[in-house]
């Protein structure tokens, strides 16, 4: 089965990457009046950048593109198109990663035309340079080979999706899975370990969603 290359990112990585990114922004001389987090991936980096840069104003905009782990939807769109007046303000638009760059471009254009700030600059922890249509003004890590970065804020969501995919793909040869089978196949297949709590939460969530059925201690894929 085709493997998605995955890298696990820890909370500690996020804090230190955000600290380093804030230094790059500071040394550029850009002084944001307001930070705008792209929902949902930009929330944590945006909040940390507010702390490291000493910015009080934090807004958010939801620009959605990726529907689930490592699966891209056709088009990005802005949800909740509310209005605010940012005239005279310098905006720092923050996301976790620039992959295609489409959701960021869309958010930037929306902010410029609807919120009318003085300036908008983009900051992201990571930038996938070979595929991105946009280069952020500030980034810490240039990624040259595509990976799905398993960030701490999508750990449960991603674990659910990855388990579902493994069971679907292996379904021809194996129907019933024990919890331990699922965990060891996940570790072997994706090469990362999200920890037992997340594996338990994911299996429980998949059972409640009707994706898995539990029959005498074994799990069967329903969908
Ligand atoms: P951007 O406009 O920032 O490139 P995309 O439209 O490519 O964003 O993706 C939107 C969001 O999907 C990202 O902000 C991130 O939260 C998530 N995402 C996209 N690609 C990846 C990836 N390779 N690894 C982890 N998360 C990703």
Domain boundaries, the chain: 6-150, 153-221
Note the pLDDT of residue 174.
86
Ligand 1 centre to CA of 215 (Å) is 37
Q: With the C-alpha atoms ordered 44, 50, 56, 60, is the resulting torsion angle positive or negative?
A: negative
pLDDT recorded at residue 72: 55
pLDDT averaged over every residue in the chain: 94
Confidence band for 171, pLDDT divided at 50, 70 and 90: confident
Quick check: 77 and 60 in contact, CB under 8 A? no
Same fold for the pair 6-150 and 153-221: no
Topology at the third CATH level for domain 6-150: Rossmann fold (3.40.50)
Whether 71 shows a pLDDT value over 70: the answer reads no
Taking residues 118-138, report their average pLDDT. 97
Least-confidence region, from 14-23, 59-68, 128-137, 169-178 = 59-68
Q: Which pLDDT value is given to residue 2?
A: 61
CATH number of this structure's domain 153-221: 1.10.10.10
Q: What number does the ligand 1 atom closest to the CA of 143 have? A: 23
State whether the beta carbon of 158 lies less than 6 angstroms from ligand 1: no
Q: Say yes or no to pLDDT of 43 above 90.
A: yes
* Cis peptide bond upstream of 70, omega within 30: no
Determine if ligand 1 sits within 6 Å of the CB of residue 96: yes
């Amino acid at each position: 089965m085709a493997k998605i290359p995955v890298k696990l990112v820890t909370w500690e990585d996020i804090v230190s990457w955000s600290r380093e990114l804030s230094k790059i922004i500071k040394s550029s001389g850009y002084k944001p009046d307001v930070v705008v987090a792209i929902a949902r991936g930009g929330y944590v980096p945006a909040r940390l950048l507010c702390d490291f840069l000493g910015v009080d104003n934090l807004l958010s905009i939801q620009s959605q593109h990726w529907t689930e782990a490592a699966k891209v939807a056709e088009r990005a769109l802005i949800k909740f198109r509310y209005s605010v007046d940012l005239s005279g303000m310098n905006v720092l638009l923050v996301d976790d990663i620039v992959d295609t760059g489409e959701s960021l471009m869309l958010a930037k254009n929306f902010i410029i035309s609807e919120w009318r700030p003085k300036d908008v600059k983009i900051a992201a922890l990571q930038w996938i340079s070979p595929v991105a249509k946009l280069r952020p003004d500030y980034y810490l890590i240039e990624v040259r080979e595509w990976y799905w970065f398993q960030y701490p804020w999508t750990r449960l969501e991603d674990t659910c999706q990855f388990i579902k995919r493994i069971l679907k793909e292996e379904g021809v040869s194996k129907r019933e899975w024990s919890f331990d089978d699922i965990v060891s196949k996940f570790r072997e297949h994706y090469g990362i370990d999200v920890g037992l709590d997340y594996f338990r939460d994911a299996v429980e969530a998949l059972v409640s969603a009707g994706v898995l059925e539990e029959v005498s201690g074994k799990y069967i894929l329903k969908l």
